[in-house]
């Protein structure tokens, strides 16, 4: 039967298709059979069959919107699409799309079984099975086959095959095949195939790259950038890994920053480390508080802590040494010890011990500056520092001034001027020289040779003592000379009187 268009004509075609209402179009057996409202378009056997008062709906497909009652503004296209939908303003496109969505409104589901058994609202599901069995989530965007399947969270964006598939968290963004597949955490961003795949309760993570953070379960506030970065992180928190495989072996380590391909890739439980450069800190397992900057730096370090290495190959062979500072390409390259400071290109390259200081720009065995922190000794152009000496130098020294500090007033020879000082007589001095060949209290040439030199401070004290003694001799001689001059003058006057008398 065709009614005039000017009176909101209704078109019916099919056994038991809708005959009530106005402005509707019903095609197919049972299509809109119970509809009393207006402006519906139902195309397909039993499409909109149970609809009574709903209006302005478009149902296309076998059983599409079949049990949808009293709804408005829905568009269902596809067999069984919107089959039991009771809410309004939904768009379902695809076989069984939105099939059992009951109370959800203003959703857009495109793809076979997209939004099947979904009850949430304001969702956009694109792809076969996208949002399938997403029961309670709202305001989600799922794009990709099986994206967001069985997800219950809200405000999520999942793009890619199986992304966010069993998600229970909210406000996540997952882009890539199976990214965040079993996620239960919230406020995460996973981008890349399998990125954050096993994330359980981890929150506030940013994971970008294929396999990045794949095994992360409960780790929080991590940033992984690059393929396989942080791949095996389980419970580690607040790490930043940048570069292919950076931190890929990290399990429970926290507060680490690894930048560069494979940087810190073996780190397991190490904390508070900063590794920068290709394979920097590559084999570190549980070392803490290290700052490693340079490709291959600390390459073999497994458990060392509190080290600072700057430069390619620095501390390359260091395994578990602690508290070292190496600056310069290959500085401390073969060192295994602890508490060393090496500055310069190849400085301390061959040194294997601990508590050493090297300042050098080559791998010379004897550096420009060498130190031993254990004995508090320093060498310049030499490593041969006799026991009991703080500083040794090979070569000549030129300087404008040297100050020798004495320890206490008793070391200074002012005692020579004391009234009770026993000043040796010149005869005694002469006798000592004749018998010993040197001044009293002054070392002989043989003694100086045996001792390997003189102590500058002590020798100056001894020389000053001799100067002060010479001063006393001079004063005494001056007194004698003046006395003799007086006697001579008296004799001269007496002689002059005798001559005059004659």
pLDDT tens per residue across span 347-400: 999 999 999 999 999 989 899 999 999 999 999 999 999 998 899 999 999 999
**Shared-domain flag, residues 293 and 372:** yes
CB-side neighbour CA atoms (13 Å) of 322: 7
Percent of the chain with pLDDT over 90: 76
Q: Where does a domain end: 400, 429, 452?
A: 400
Q: Phi, psi (5° rounding) for residue 124?
A: -125, 115
Over residues 325-353, mean pLDDT: 96
Which of residues 284 and 410 earns the better pLDDT score? 284
**Shared-domain flag, residues 370 and 466:** no
What predicted TM-score, i.e. pTM, was given to this entire model?
A: 0.80
Report how far Cα 232 is from the mean position of its chain's Cα atoms: 17
Pairing of strands 157-159, 341-343: unpaired
Burial of 392 (0-12, 13-18, 19+ CB in 10 A): middle
Q: What angle do CA 87, 93, 98 make, to 5 degrees?
A: 40
Helix or strand run (H / E) with residue 456: helix 456-501
> Is residue 4 over pLDDT 50?
no
CB-side neighbour CA atoms (13 Å) of 466: 12
- As a whole number of angstroms, the distance between CA 172 and CA 151 comes to 11
**Shared-domain flag, residues 419 and 396:** no
**Shared-domain flag, residues 369 and 455:** no
Radius of gyration, alpha carbons of the chain? 48
**Shared-domain flag, residues 305 and 368:** yes
pLDDT at 402: 86
Neighbours of 257 (CB within 10 A): 20
Asked if residue 441 belongs to a domain, the reply is yes
What pLDDT, in 10s, does the model give residues 83-125?
988 889 999 999 999 998 888 899 999 999 999 998 899 999 9
> Is residue 20 over pLDDT 80?
no
**Shared-domain flag, residues 279 and 393:** yes
- As a whole number of angstroms, the distance between CA 146 and CA 159 comes to 10
CB 202 within 8 A of CB 188: yes
- Token pair belonging to 335: 């060192």
**Shared-domain flag, residues 446 and 391:** no
Count of structural domains within the chain = 2
**Shared-domain flag, residues 386 and 278:** yes
**Shared-domain flag, residues 389 and 486:** no
In order of 198, 377, 402, 405, 497, the CA distances from 399 in angstroms are 69, 21, 7, 17, 66
What pLDDT, in 10s, does the model give residues 207-245?
999 999 999 999 999 999 999 999 999 999 999 999 999
Report how far Cα 319 is from the mean position of its chain's Cα atoms: 19
> Is residue 10 over pLDDT 80?
no
Asked if residue 212 belongs to a domain, the reply is no
**Shared-domain flag, residues 392 and 463:** no
- As a whole number of angstroms, the distance between CA 280 and CA 298 comes to 6
**Shared-domain flag, residues 289 and 396:** yes
- Token pair belonging to 193: 């195939």
> Is residue 173 over pLDDT 90?
yes
- The per-residue pLDDT of the chain, averaged, comes to 91
Which residue range is the domain that position 298 belongs to? 272-400
**Shared-domain flag, residues 415 and 448:** yes
């Amino acid at each position: 039967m065709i009614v005039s268009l000017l009176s909101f004509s209704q078109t019916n075609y099919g056994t038991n298709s809708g005959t009530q209402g106005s402005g509707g179009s019903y095609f197919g057996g049972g299509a809109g059979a119970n509809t009393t409202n207006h402006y519906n378009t139902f195309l397909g056997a039993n499409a909109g069959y149970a609809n009574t008062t709903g209006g302005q709906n478009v149902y296309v497909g076998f059983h599409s919107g079949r049990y949808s009652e009293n709804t408005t503004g829905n568009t269902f296209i596809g067999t069984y699409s919107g089959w039991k939908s009771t809410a309004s303003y939904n768009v379902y496109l695809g076989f069984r799309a939105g099939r059992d969505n009951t109370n959800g409104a203003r959703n857009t589901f495109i793809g076979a079984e997209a939004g099947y058994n979904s009850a949430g609202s304001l969702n956009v599901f694109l792809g076969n099975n996208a949002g399938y069995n997403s029961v309670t989530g709202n305001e989600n965007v799922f794009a990709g086959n099986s994206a967001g399947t069985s997800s219950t969270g809200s405000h999520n964006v999942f793009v890619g095959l199986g992304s966010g598939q069993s998600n229970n968290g909210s406000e996540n963004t997952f882009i890539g095949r199976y990214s965040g597949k079993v996620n239960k955490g919230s406020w995460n961003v996973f981008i890349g195939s399998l990125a954050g795949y096993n994330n359980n309760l981890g929150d506030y993570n940013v994971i970008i790259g294929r396999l990045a953070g794949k095994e992360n379960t409960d780790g929080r506030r991590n940033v992984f950038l690059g393929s396989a970065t942080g791949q095996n992180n389980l419970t580690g928190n607040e790490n930043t890994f940048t570069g292919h495989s950076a931190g890929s072996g990290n399990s429970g380590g926290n507060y680490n920053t690894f930048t560069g391909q494979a940087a810190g890739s073996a780190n397991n439980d190490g904390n508070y480390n900063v590794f920068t450069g290709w394979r920097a800190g590559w084999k570190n397992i549980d070392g803490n508080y290290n700052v490693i900057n340079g490709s291959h730096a600390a390459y073999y370090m497994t458990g060392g802590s509190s080290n600072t290495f700057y430069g390619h190959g620095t501390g390359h062979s260091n395994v578990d040494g602690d508290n070292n500072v190496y600056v310069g390409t290959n500085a401390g390259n073969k060192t295994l010890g602890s508490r060393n400071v090496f500055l310069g290109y190849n400085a301390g390259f061959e040194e294997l011990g601990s508590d050493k200081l090297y300042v050098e720009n080559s791998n010379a065995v004897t550096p420009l500056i060498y130190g031993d922190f254990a004995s508090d000794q320093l060498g310049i152009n030499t490593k041969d520092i006799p026991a009991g000496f703080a500083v040794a130098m090979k070569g000549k020294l030129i300087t404008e001034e040297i100050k020798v500090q004495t320890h206490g007033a008793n070391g200074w020879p002012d005692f020579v001027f004391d009234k009770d000082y026993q000043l040796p007589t010149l005869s005694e001095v002469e006798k000592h020289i004749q018998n010993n060949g040197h001044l009293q209290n002054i070392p002989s040439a043989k003694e100086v040779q045996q001792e390997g030199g003189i102590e500058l401070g002590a020798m100056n004290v001894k020389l000053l003592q001799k100067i002060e003694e010479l001063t006393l001799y001079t004063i005494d001689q001056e007194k004698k000379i003046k006395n003799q001059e007086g006697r001579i003058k008296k004799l001269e006057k007496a002689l002059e009187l005798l001559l005059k008398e004659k």
